[in-house]
Chains A and B, each alone.
Chain A
Amino acid sequence: MKIVSLADIIVASPLILLVLGSLAPITTKVILGNREPRSFVTLMEGAVALVGSAILTASVYYLLTARGSYFAFNDLLIFDRLTMVTSVIMLISSVFVLILMKENPSSSGYGYAELTFLLLSSLVGGVTLVASYDFITTFLGLEVMSLPVYVMIGMGHDDRYSKESAIKYFVLGSFASAIFLLGVALMYGSSGTTSFEGLLKLGVEFISTNFVFLMGVTLVIVGLLFKVSAFPFQSWTVDVYQGAPTPVTSYMASVMKVASFVVLIRFVKLGYFASSTPLFELIQWVTVLTILVGNGGALVQQSIKRMLAYSSIAHSGYVMLGLMAYGLSEYSSSEELIKQNVLFYLLAYSVMTLGAFGVVSYLEQKEGAQLKVSDLRGLGRTRLGLALALSLLLLSLGGIPPFVGFFTKFYLFIHALDQGLVWVTVWAAVGSAMGIYYYLRPMVFMFMEEPSSNDQAGDASYFTWKPLTHLIAVFFSIVVITIGVFSRFVLEFIR
Chain B
Amino acid sequence: MLLSLIILFPLICALVMALLPDRRYLHKVALGMSVVEFLVGLVLYLKFDHNKTGLQFVEKILWIEDFGISYFLGVDGISIWLVLLTVFLQPIVVLASWSSINEKIKGYYVALFLLESAMIGSFITFDAVLFYLFWELSLVPMYFIIGLWGGERKIYATLKFFIYTMAGSIMMLVANGVMLLLAKETLGFYTTSLLDWYKIRIPFVGGEFFSPQTLLFFAYALAFAVKTPVFPFHTWLPDAHVQAPTAGSVILAGVMLKMGTYSFLRWVVPLFPEATQYWSWLFIVIGITGIIYGALMALVQNDIKKVIAYSSVSHMGYIIAGIFSLNELAMSGALYQMLNHGISTGALFLLVGMIYERTHTRDIVKYGGIAAQVPIYTVIFMIVTFSSIAVPLTNGFVGEFLILLGIYQNRPAWAAWAVAGVILGAGYMLWTVKRVFFGPAGQVVQDHGLHDLSQREILVMLPLVFLVFFMGIYPNYFLRLFEKGIIFLVENFHNYQLFSQITEGGL
Contact = CB atoms under 8 A, between A and B. Distances in A.
B133 A447 contact: no
A142 to B, nearest CB: 32
Interface string A417-444: 1100010011001101110110011011
A444 B137 contact: no
A436 B165 CA distance: 11
Interface in A450-489: 487-488
Nearest to A414: B177
Interface string A222-236: 000000000000000
Contacts of B171: 426, 429
Nearest to B129: A410
B173 A440 contact: no
Interface stretch (B20-28, B156-164, B245-253, B352-360): B156-164
A401 interface: yes
Interface string B168-192: 0011011011101100100000000
B162 A410 contact: no
B65 A436 contact: no
Nearest to A420: B181
Contacts of B181: 414, 417-418
Interface string B96-132: 0000000000000000000000000000000001001
B35 interface: no
A444 B174 contact: no
Nearest to A340: B66
A425 B143 contact: no
Contact of B174 (A413, A418, A434): A413
A443 B147 CA distance: 9
A406 B184 CA distance: 21
Given A395-B140, A401-B132, A487-B64, A417 B178 contact: yes
B120 to A, nearest CB: 15
Interface residues of B, number: 34
A447 B137 contact: no
A437 B67 contact: no
A425 B159 contact: no
Given A401-B133, A411-B67, A440-B162, A448 B147 contact: yes
A487 B66 CA distance: 11
Nearest to A407: B64
A444 B67 CA distance: 35
Nearest to B131: A401
B136 A400 contact: yes
Contact of A400 (B63, B140, B174, B180): B140
A402 B135 CA distance: 10
Max count, chain A CB within 10 A of own CB: residue among B63, B139, B171, B173: B173
A176 to B, nearest CB: 33
A449 interface: yes
Contact of B155 (A426, A432, A448): A448
Contacts of A449: 155
A440 B139 CA distance: 12
Interface centre among A430, A433, A441 (most CB of B within 10 A): A433
B381 interface: no
Given A417-B177, A444-B147, A406 B170 contact: no
A20 interface: no
Interface of chain B, main secondary structure: helix
Given A436-B162, A448-B147, A448-B158, A430 B170 contact: yes
Nearest to B168: A433
B174 A429 contact: yes
Contacts of B66: 337, 341, 411, 491
Contacts of B133: 401-402, 406
Interface string B66-92: 110000000000000000000000000
Nearest to B62: A488
B148 interface: yes
Contacts of A433: 163, 166-167, 170
Nearest to A413: B177
Nearest to A384: B107
B262 interface: no
Which one of B64, B132, B148, B174 has the highest number of Cβ atoms from chain A below 10 Å of its Cβ? Answer: B174
B64 A488 contact: yes
B144 interface: yes
B159 A440 contact: yes
B154 A448 contact: yes
Interface string A13-57: 000000000000000000000000000000000000000000000
A447 B147 contact: yes
Contacts of B174: 413, 417, 425-426, 429
8 contacts: A407-B64, A410-B173, A418-B181, A425-B174, A437-B163, A440-B143, A448-B148, A448-B155
Interface of A: 337, 341, 395, 400-402, 406-407, 410-411, 413-414, 417-418, 422, 425-426, 429-430, 432-434, 436-437, 440-441, 443-444, 447-449, 487-488, 491
Q: 4 closest Cβ contacts across the A-B interface?
A: A401-B133, A433-B167, A448-B147, A433-B170
Given A426-B171, A429-B170, A436-B163, 13 more contacts: A395-B140, A400-B136, A400-B140, A401-B137, A413-B173, A417-B178, A425-B174, A433-B163, A434-B167, A436-B162, A440-B159, A444-B159, A488-B63
